[in-house]
Amino acid sequence: MEPIQLQQVFFHHIKSRMPAHLSLAEEVAEHLNISNDSAYRRIRGEKPLSFEEVQLLCKHFRISLDHLLNIDSSSTVFFGNWVDKESFDFEKYLSDMLLQLQQIAGFDKKEMYYEAKDIPPFHHFQFAELAAFKYFFWMKSILSYPDLAKTHFESHTLKNPLIATGKKIIETYSGIPSIEIWSIETIDSTIRQIEYSHQTGAFKKKETVTQLYDELEQLIAHIEAQAECGKKFIIGTEPTEESASYQLFFNEVILGHNTILSIGNESKTVFINHGVLNYMITRDQRFCDYTLQSMQNIMRKSSLISSVSEKERNRFFNALKEKISVSRKVN
Residue 75 pLDDT greater than 70, yes or no? no
Q: What is the mean pLDDT of residues 81-87?
A: 74
Q: Strand (E) positions, 228-285?
A: 246-250, 259-264, 267-274, 278-282
Residue 74 pLDDT greater than 90, yes or no? no
Categorize the per-residue pLDDT at 274 as very low, low, confident or very high, splitting at 50, 70 and 90.
confident
In this predicted structure, which of 56-70, 79-93, 222-236 has the lowest mean pLDDT?
56-70
Categorize the per-residue pLDDT at 65 as very low, low, confident or very high, splitting at 50, 70 and 90.
low
Helix (H, G, I), strand (E, B) or coil at 152: coil
Query: Domain segments of the chain: what residues?
Result: 3-68, 90-330
Q: How many residues does the chain have?
A: 331
Helix (H) or strand (E) holding 108: none
pLDDT, tens digit (0-9, with 9 covering 90-100), for 128-178: 899 999 989 988 887 788 778 788 999 887 777 788 888 899 999 999 999
Q: What is the mean pLDDT of residues 190-197?
A: 94
**How high is the pLDDT of residue 90?**
79
pLDDT, tens digit (0-9, with 9 covering 90-100), for 222-242: 999 999 999 999 998 999 999
194 neighbors 210 (Cβ within 8 angstroms): no
Q: What is the CATH T-level fold of the domain 3-68, as seen in this structure?
A: 434 Repressor (Amino-terminal Domain) (1.10.260)
Angstrom distance (rounded) from CA 14 to CA 109: 17
**How high is the pLDDT of residue 270?**
93
> What's the pTM value of the predicted model, to 2 decimals?
0.80
331 neighbors 265 (Cβ within 8 angstroms): no
**How high is the pLDDT of residue 2?**
63
Categorize the per-residue pLDDT at 72 as very low, low, confident or very high, splitting at 50, 70 and 90.
low
Which spans in 126-240 are helix H? Answer: 128-137, 159-161, 167-173, 188-199, 206-229
Output the average pLDDT for the chain: 87
Angstrom distance (rounded) from CA 267 to CA 14: 10
Q: What percent of the chain has pLDDT over 70?
A: 95
Residue 23 pLDDT greater than 80, yes or no? yes
